[in-house]
């Protein structure tokens, strides 16, 4: 997993009751763009140092926009 500051971290959830969770990546704590990321969660506005699991992926701002318009 690789990310740049400003990208979005999206956590897909299995059930439809819980929509995907999104957060803005404010800081990348490695030179090669791998985790952990300092993420500001959209739903809580809290910042946390996040180690994503396999259900997470990184979207660049343009990719997120594209994904939005498709839905």
Partner 1 sequence: MRARDIMTSPVITVRTGATVQDAAALLAARGFTALPVVDDDDRLVGIVSEADLVRDRFPRDPRSLIHGEPPAEPASAPGTVGEVMTTPVTAMGPGTDVAVLTQALLDARQRSMPIVDGSRVIGIVTRRDLVRVVGRDDTTIARDVQHKLEIYGGPGRWQITVDGGVVTIGDEFDDATDRHVATALAEAVPGVVRAHTIVSGCEEG
Interface with partner 1 (CB under 8 A): 9, 11, 29-30, 34-36, 46, 48-56
For the bound state, the minimum distance from the C-beta of residue 69 to partner 1, rounded and expressed in Å, comes to 26
Return the closest-CA partner of residue 29 out of 48, 10, 42, 57.
Answer: 48
Nearer to partner 1, 48 or 60 (CB): 48
Which residues are within 8 A (CB) of 18 and not within 5 positions of it... i.e. 6 or more apart?
A: none
Minimum CB–partner distance for residue 60 and partner 1 (Å): 19
Q: Which is nearer to partner 1, 47 or 64 (CB)?
A: 47
CA 50 to CA 63: how far, in whole Å? 21
Name the minimum Å distance from CB 55 to partner 1.
Answer: 6
Residue 37 near residue 27, CB atoms below 8 Å = yes
């Amino acid at each position: 997993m690789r990310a740049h500051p400003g990208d979005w971290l999206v956590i897909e959830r299995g059930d439809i009751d819980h929509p995907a969770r999104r957060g803005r990546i404010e800081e990348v704590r490695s030179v090669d763009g791998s985790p952990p990321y300092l993420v500001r969660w959209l739903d809580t506005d809290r910042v946390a140092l996040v180690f994503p699991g396999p259900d997470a992926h990184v979207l660049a701002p343009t990719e997120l926009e594209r994904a939005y318009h498709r839905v």
